Structure 1
């Protein structure tokens, strides 16, 4: 067994009001602030971005604030600038995931962004009209009492950061819209995102980055229920090996089932435990049956939830972040040796009542591992035989369908939007862009440069009309 000498953990310093956090990477962000110094990642970056705002839209906001009809132009621009930095902040931490040898991820992503920007406003307005503004807050709040739910921070963040931020950025870069187009639709998207996230957090913030990268949303009684099932173990022990191997295998399949993206994974936490350790709660969605390619996952549950207990002293933890795409990063980078306890829970279907979610003993994971590995091999074989166009279409679905699917389900509207609003159809403009995005290195060079630098997130003009849509294609 590998022995690790305990060292003093310093991560609690990151929660002190004046602490600026650590730098997880050396790159900096410029965005729309050409005359100001570049912005780093992390806690300091969040502080600098909020200091540059004209409004208080990214400070703690009240229920009355989020129930207002719309944002002002200044608020829209403050949100646009902050989300552009926030997107950069999460993307640079996982940039190596940007290209797949099998799935044309860059291509399907930009098409999905555009599809979402065009289509989500109608669905979001329908949800709001159906359940009311307070009802949208309650959809977000439902995540506080559940595990194995996709009403989580990555999906809710994507409703705005992806559908508005990257969708609008891509269309501006392709030069098919102007900065003063779709103002009303942008407002609908960002209001919906704000309400869902505010309802989830209940502390006035909407993003984890505003709260020093904490996503401590689960109710205490649910945390207690999870912790009661945790088995303690030592690094290198049989239980440690079982638990970490299961985590890796289930995470790979969840990633693959969602077309090489993180919609199949979701962390919350860190939750401090009485003994000084930290709890992460990790959802791994290994069988999203709504996708036709998930037939290879037959026999697996909808979601495995892992309670991951970390001893910060074992690695001398300096900082821990649960960022806005539900992913945990630490300094030092490898926290696997610090995992000293765990538990596994099963949610069979997306709507299985929480009272029917059950735990698995660590020595019962073997048959589940076999099914996970078999499904992963079958998924690889199935995917390898698909054409590029089919892969792109499936990838669009994995983003466009999945990011708003849990909210439609919660509002009881999924069947209606399929029947009345052609939910699964691709907008004709987006279908045509399939042929445009590979020309002149648009998807390979232009899009990443616009997104990573932040220069593609053009502000709304000061005199833009809040009612403005796009009235002509000229």
Structure 2
């Protein structure tokens, strides 16, 4: 179809198809009174109601070249529920008998001819786009869950990724993200830690993300587009965490909200920078997940990004657990989990679950990645002298879903079940160790005890290092951890050395006052993102 005009819709109406008939005089109206007008799209020059009044309620639609939303024709067409465009600018002559479609795209009324345009996207892709953006605008339940009932083909996914993020779409997407984020904040545990002052470092880090991400993202995206990065790392576990993708968009917008709360940013400022970062995140998430969803929550609290043959290979290498190996697995997982939380400064950044992946026998598999255990390419000073035997681990955990009444992997890649012991239901497990040189090794149960001991030794070394730090050093270590969120993507794109990774002076100006104060930081962070009077966490852009 070819766009042949644009105007202002008199109200929000569904896509409407009909046949053009020009009405230029009262005699044209009178001649049509006995006609079936249900599929007639009346074209008129001016916006008066009385001209079409004898037939207005029977028309399939109206296109008026004059008028505004306050025109009489716009007002009465709303009352009759007759789709109407006013103030329509046509690209050329439109003849009687032309089949046309009236549509609304990002709030703009669009008039199309049904005649094929050689360069036009297929109808199926266009319909997916319309439905996808409608989903984004839909309000979910109390925890922002809403049904995603689209089937997105590879071609339609490519088309979604390639779409321009217009002002209206950007606004819709930011509000969708805010509605998804707010209930997760209310459902999570408290922001407390005896070792790391969490609210100061979280506030500093997201604010620094807002100050620095647009410039960094532009460098990464120019070297390797977001969608190419995502596709380069989704063919195997242990390469890149879905949580890191999530953080790109959400942490950035959290920083914006904190600055708005502090009176240091107006909500209509830096819109182009926001577009740069949110669009990078959107394309990254769509390409990595591959099903048209952006988050775990969109997909019913799942993320099955790994190819089926990769999961099958992981499961094939698994060990059927007996009582002793099941106990050893639980101890290993708990030990590595505790170490990972410490390594990432009391955050869950280093562990992410994907799945659940269904198995032919009715069981399901969770793939759990521990993505950094030792010296890091992300320049974590506290990791430089750690000596774990592996750079990272992947666990494939196959379980009986009948053991649970509830199962969820949230947007942060954390699995929650009822009853709340996933490992107790695991019947088969695979443990893979990843080395710095890119090679991997299958670790059978006979190796788990040795691995546990190695991780425990490094845990103690790391704990002593953090414990010996002053408060300010711990705050900025944790801030460094979070603000390194783009480093994995920069490394894949080959531009790590082209980016300035230092803290923004605008961020440092907020320390120590107010962001060294736990109570002040808690008030800023909590009020900005949770205890606000908005339906979501993120302010509108205008």
Confirm or deny a common fold (TM above 0.5). yes
Q: Alignment partner for residue 175 of structure 2, among 81, 95, 103?
A: 81
Q: Distance in 2 between matches of 1:332 and 1:138?
A: 39
User: C-alpha offsets along residues 230-251 of structure 1, whole Å, 9 cap, x if unaligned?
Assistant: 11124xx110011111001011
Which residue in 1 is equivalent to 2:89? Answer: none
Is 1:295 aligned to 2:384, yes or no?
yes
Pair 1:344–1:337, CA change in 2 (3 A)? same
Unmatched 5+ stretches in structure 2: 1-136, 150-154
Max radius of gyration: which structure?
2
User: C-alpha offsets along residues 294-344 of structure 1, whole Å, 9 cap, x if unaligned?
Assistant: 13522332101111111122x2x2232222211111233222321111111
SS at match of 1:358: strand
Instruction: After the TM superposition, list the runs of 4 or more consecutive aligned residues in structure 1 that deviate by more than 6 angstroms.
Output: none
Q: Alignment partner for residue 429 of structure 1, among 506, 524, 536?
A: 506
Which residue in 2 is equivalent to 1:449? Answer: 527
Deviation at 1:438, TM superposition (A): 4.7
Contact 1:278/1:312 (<8 A) preserved:
yes
Q: Distance in 1 between matches of 2:445 and 2:483?
A: 36
Contact 1:141/1:201 (<8 A) preserved:
no
Unmatched 5+ stretches in structure 1: 1-32, 52-59, 462-474
Q: Distance in 1 between matches of 2:140 and 2:262?
A: 26
Pair 1:225–1:390, CA change in 2 (3 A)? same
Deviation at 1:385, TM superposition (A): 1.1
Contact 1:296/1:378 (<8 A) preserved:
no
Contact 1:257/1:288 (<8 A) preserved:
no
Q: Alignment partner for residue 417 of structure 2, among 302, 316, 330?
A: 330
Q: Alignment partner for residue 379 of structure 1, among 447, 454, 462?
A: 462
Q: Alignment partner for residue 47 of structure 1, among 118, 122, 146?
A: 146
Contact 2:226/2:281 (<8 A) preserved:
no
SS at match of 1:450: helix
User: C-alpha offsets along residues 84-123 of structure 1, whole Å, 9 cap, x if unaligned?
Assistant: 2322333334323x21011111111111101111111111
Contact 2:199/2:518 (<8 A) preserved:
no
SS at match of 1:95: coil
Contact 1:112/1:396 (<8 A) preserved:
yes
The structure with the largest helix share of the pair is 1
Which residue in 2 is equivalent to 1:269? Answer: 355
Is 1:414 aligned to 2:496, yes or no?
yes
Q: Distance in 1 between matches of 2:194 and 2:517?
A: 20
Task: Using structure 2 for the length normalisation, give the TM-score.
Answer: 0.69
User: C-alpha offsets along residues 410-433 of structure 1, whole Å, 9 cap, x if unaligned?
Assistant: 10011222xxxx21x111111111
Contact 1:124/1:189 (<8 A) preserved:
yes
SS at match of 1:172: helix
SS at match of 1:145: coil
Q: Alignment partner for residue 250 of structure 1, among 333, 336, 349?
A: 336
Deviation at 1:283, TM superposition (A): 0.7
Is 1:62 aligned to 2:157, yes or no?
yes
Is 1:305 aligned to 2:383, yes or no?
no
Pair 1:114–1:382, CA change in 2 (3 A)? same
Pair 1:311–1:37, CA change in 2 (3 A)? closer
Which residue in 1 is equivalent to 2:292? Answer: 204
Q: Distance in 2 between matches of 1:248 and 1:159?
A: 28
What number of residue pairs does the alignment pair up?
394
SS at match of 2:396: strand
Q: Distance in 1 between matches of 2:140 and 2:223?
A: 43
Q: Alignment partner for residue 251 of structure 2, among 156, 162, 168?
A: 162
Q: Distance in 1 between matches of 2:518 and 2:325?
A: 53
